[in-house]
Amino acid sequence: MLKILVTAVIGLAAFSVNAQTGFSIKGKIPAKYDGQKVMLEYRTEKQEVKDSAVVKNGSFSFKGKVNAVVKAYLNLKPTEENKETANNDDFYSRNYQTFFLENTNISIVGNQISNATIKGGPAQSDYLLLKSQLKSLEAKQMVLNEQVMRSFRNSKEDSTSKDAPNEFAPQLQRLYSEIGKVQNAFIQQHPDSYVSLDLINERNDGAVELEKLKRDLKRLSPRMKNTAIGKNLQVKLAMAEKTGIGQQALDFTQNNTEGKPVTLSSLRGKYVLVDFWASWCAPCREENPTVLKAYQKFKDKNFEIISISLDDKKEPWLKAIEADGLPWIQLSDLKGWKNSVARLYGVTSVPQNLLLDPNGKIVAKNLRGEELQMELDKIFN
């Protein structure tokens, strides 16, 4: 099954560095964009920053200061007069670009934001190098993604071909593998680069793969490990080691839909799937029918599910349980991302899950789609 992972949580990485004079951005694009706003957005350790500049005589500029190298986002916003046209125009919808912002002079030159050449400090130079190495692969990815979406739209119109996008899964997997190889080589060759740090951080924004994170952190220079993001990755590694395959599951107690406490260890003697989700998480809701199918097949074979919801309001949580027909144990403290069990297990994106054996030991993680059915088939058949 073709998997499209949407992460529930999206953030721009910030990295510690000695800040001195500040940054100066000067942009040059065609004068036909005069009057439109260019938006500059980035996230620091403490806040999300948004700034704007109006294009005048084909030029725009920004000034400011950052206390860290940050991955920033530049976007050309249409005016009210042409917003309706712009919303239907791929040119406008794609008129954005990411770059690395640091306290230096930065130039932006192009016929639109999306393909402008952005020159700045050392981090941006590294980023341009990586982009050049990935250019041909990302072009293939764009074409393939368009084919997948076209096939998906066709499958919705024709019920007899609802699984048509599956034909692209092997091609996408091969392409992702090739992109990963290029990124790995870049990290290996540039251990002291903020771009390498960013690549590793992005890989671990959701579910952490323990061995891969260990390998990646070993590749980083001491300077990168000592940044805020580097230290956070080390915290994630420590958490992943506590909740990795082969480890004893951390016990917890949380209330069910009726407000009654349920403790994980009370289910010892059974295989248990601990499933993290939320009513507002589209990929979670798409995954629920697959989980339900597995539950119905194995519930009488010493198998149970505990779902931990990252909702913060009871009504949508209960409505989603009813709408999706989920008959297993449902728990939540209704604290959203501050859910105590999610924090205990270092969960920063959903869906995620853990499969425990009858002794409470973690035997598998993040089983999605057919993987869950296959793992349970191996256990029970």
- Residue 346 CA to residue 212 CA, distance in Å, equals 17
Residue linked to tokens 């048509």: 164
What pTM value is reported for the model?
0.75
Return the structure tokens found at 222: 């001491």
Residue 43: phi, psi to the nearest 5? -120, 130
Return the structure tokens found at 239: 């958490």
pLDDT score of 166: 64
More confident residue, 160 or 360: 360
Q: What is the DSSP string of 54-121?
A: E-BTTEEEEEE--SEEEEEEEEEEPPTTTHHHHHT-HHHHT-EEEEEE-SSEEEEESSSSTT-EEE-S
pLDDT score of 240: 86
Average pLDDT of 304-315?
A: 97
pLDDT score of 79: 62
Residue linked to tokens 């950052």: 66
> Could you tell me whether strands 23-28 and 105-109 are parallel, antiparallel, or unpaired per DSSP bridges?
parallel
Is it the case that residue 13 has pLDDT exceeding 50?
no
- Residue 303 CA to residue 295 CA, distance in Å, equals 8
pLDDT score of 195: 97
Is it the case that residue 88 has pLDDT exceeding 50?
no
Coil, strand, or helix at residue 19?
coil
Write out pLDDT tens, residues 135-181.
999 888 888 888 877 776 776 555 544 454 567 778 888 898 999 99
Q: To the nearest whole number, what is the mean pLDDT of the chain? A: 87
pLDDT score of 31: 93
Highest average pLDDT, of 93-107, 128-142, 319-333, comes from 319-333
